[in-house]
Amino acid sequence: MNSRFSENLKKIRKDHNLSQEQLADELGVSRQAISKWEQAVAYPEMDKIIALCDKFNVNIDDLLHKDIKEVKKEEESKKELNKYIEDILKFITDTVNLFSNMNFKSKIKCLFEQVIIILILALISTIIFSGILAPLFSNILSFLPSQINVFICNILNSLLILFCIVTSLIVLTHIFKTRYLDYYDKLKKDIVNDNNDNKQEIEINVDQKNKILFKKNENKIIIRDPRHSEYGFIHGLFKLIIGIIKFFALSFALLIGLVLICFSILLILSFLLYKTGIFFIGLLVSISASIVISMIILLVVLNFVFNRKNDKKKMITSFISALMIFGIGCGLILVGSLNFEILDANQKMLTSGQVELEMNKDILINAYNNDVTYIEEDIDNIRVEYKINKYCQLHLYQFNNNNIEMEARCSNFFPLLKQFIKNINNKKIIPFNNEIQDIVIYASKENINIIKDNLQKHYDMEKRYYDIVDYYEKKIEELENEIAKYDSKMYDYEEKILDLNMQIEEYKRQLNDE
């Protein structure tokens, strides 16, 4: 006979609080038959086995051949696992539904509150871990050799960090569920209970200051919930951060205002280029579109600062239209610029000049690597002739009474701008050249040789200077690398010293014990 069946039958009968007589009545057999089955003296017919399986909701193979206790434990484990999975999926589903049914401001507040809670939990975990437990572990395990001590401490620290993360996650999830998901379930039940109400808006007075307002819009609940607000300190911190953001937004608005003023000035100046045809039209269109874009951005920022609503549809439509117009304007500028002629700086832009310098044996004339022509002439001093842009002036910088540097300075902005506009209207682009050109030095042969020698000495001195600088920079780099090597060795030696000190302490303790 099958002893497994008899044990399973006895087990499931007692689990269901049935006597042998009660089970016999339900199966239509005698009490003695049930007793014989449980004692493995007799074996039931197949129809009775099927009836037992149907009554106790067990599998025939499990009833006849397996330990019903183990089967029940496996089923309970599977049910618990399935329940955990269902709870996790329900949590995710409820969270998604909650966020999809919250207005934008409520979403921002909820996310901000979770971030603050995470930071607080992280701060608490850091204080407990770094300030208490980590030093405690290190002190408790100080009797171990250093390598074993470090190894065990690293394992304990890793486990502690994992514990802090899991605990913080559980706390965060519980707070979120308590403050939002449970409350959201309550709101949904209230809406279902009031489903027969045909009003478009329902107001539920909570107290004199707060109320909960729901809107039914296409079977979707939009939650605006002052009563279930964030914690007091989070609300204050949220206001502080919003105030800081608004301050920076206002500063950005001032910057946009300055940009708007600049674009307005450019719009007026663009009429000076009316002779350029398509180029002028494209410039006018693109600057106008830029003004509109700046105004839209400025309005959005100011409405955010002063808590005013934006007409989103009009704003978005205007912004996209302005971008399209700006693109059209840039295209017209590109088409119009194809007719422009790019010329080299011609001689009409240059003017001639000369300057006389007093000769001395240490004189050094530096023209910033421009080509210089030397012409012998029977004069005592030095005469320098040059050509320069007619809107610029020559400036001589004299150092130590003998080092003379020549530089062009162009300070006549308005005549230069006028010439530039004239060239653009004539569809010509002439690069602006502010370098000193065609430098000619007139001096006696002896003085020319002195000037050349002094200049060559200057170049040689500069070269030696930069060579010395390069040499010492390389030496500094080599010494820094050496320092890094010795720092690494010093760290290793400190570790070895620590190990040796611990061995000494160990030997002393053993000596005292003996």
pLDDT, one tens digit per residue, over 270-312 is: 898 888 889 999 999 999 999 999 999 999 999 888 888 888 8
Evaluate whether residue 500 is within a structural domain: no
Name the residue range of residue 55's domain: 3-66
Q: Which two tokens stand for residue 342?
A: 């790019």
Is 472 part of a structural domain of the chain? no
Provide the pLDDT for residue 347.
Answer: 61
Tokens (6 digits) for 161: 């960090």
Give the bridge partners for 221, in sequence order. 216
Of 49, 66, 83, the position where a domain reaches its end is: 66
CA dihedral 12, 18, 20, 26 (to 10 degrees): -100
Yes or no: say if 227 and 179 are a contact pair by the CB < 8 Å rule. Answer: no
Looking at the fold, whether 328 and 358 belong to one and the same domain comes out as no
**Is the residue at 52 inside a domain?**
yes
Residues 332 and 355 in one domain: no
- Helices and strands of the chain, counted as H and E runs: 15, 12
Residue 120 sits in the same domain as residue 204? yes
- Is there a single domain that holds both residue 355 and residue 310? no
The structure's pTM equals 0.46
Between the alpha carbon of residue 428 and those of residues 31, 338, 391, 405, 419, the distances in Å are 118, 11, 18, 34, 11
| pLDDT under 50: residue ranges of the chain | 1, 198-230
Q: Residue 478 domain-assigned?
A: no
Sign for the CA dihedral angle at 301, 306, 312, 318 comes to negative
Same domain assignment for residues 220 and 294: no
Q: Are residues 334 and 355 in the same domain?
A: no
Do 37 and 112 share a domain, yes or no?
no
Q: Are residues 325 and 278 in the same domain?
A: yes
Residues 376 and 398 in one domain: yes
Q: Report the pLDDT value the prediction gives residue 16, as an integer from 0 to 100.
A: 74
How far is the C-alpha of 398 from the C-alpha of 404, rounded, in Å? 4
- Give the residues across from 385 on adjacent strands: 354, 440
Q: Are strands 211-216 and 201-205 parallel, antiparallel or unpaired?
A: antiparallel
Query: Where does residue 231 fall: left (phi above 0), alpha (psi -120 to 50 degrees), or beta otherwise?
Result: beta
Residues 49 and 128 in one domain: no
In sequence order, the 6+-apart residues with CB closer than 8 A to the CB of 309 are 303
Helices (H), 16-133: 20-27, 31-38, 46-56, 60-65, 68-100, 104-126
What pLDDT shows up at residue 325?
94
Residue 90 lies in a domain: no
Length of the chain equals: 514
Which residues, including other chains, have CB under 8 Å from residue 106's CB and lie 6 or more apart? 223, 224, 225
The count of structural domains within the chain is 4
Residues 291 and 403 in one domain: no
Q: Which of 422, 447, 472 is the last residue of a domain?
A: 447
Q: Is residue 219 part of a domain?
A: yes
Is the CB of residue 404 less than 8 Å from the CB of residue 319? no
Q: Are 336 and 284 in contact (CB under 8 A)?
A: no
Residue at 502 is within a domain? no
Structure tokens belonging to residue 52: 């037992």
Question: Residue 459 domain-assigned?
Answer: no
Residue 194's pLDDT is 61
Q: Give residue 207's pLDDT.
A: 38
pLDDT at site 255: 92
Asked if residue 213 and residue 118 are part of one domain, the reply reads yes
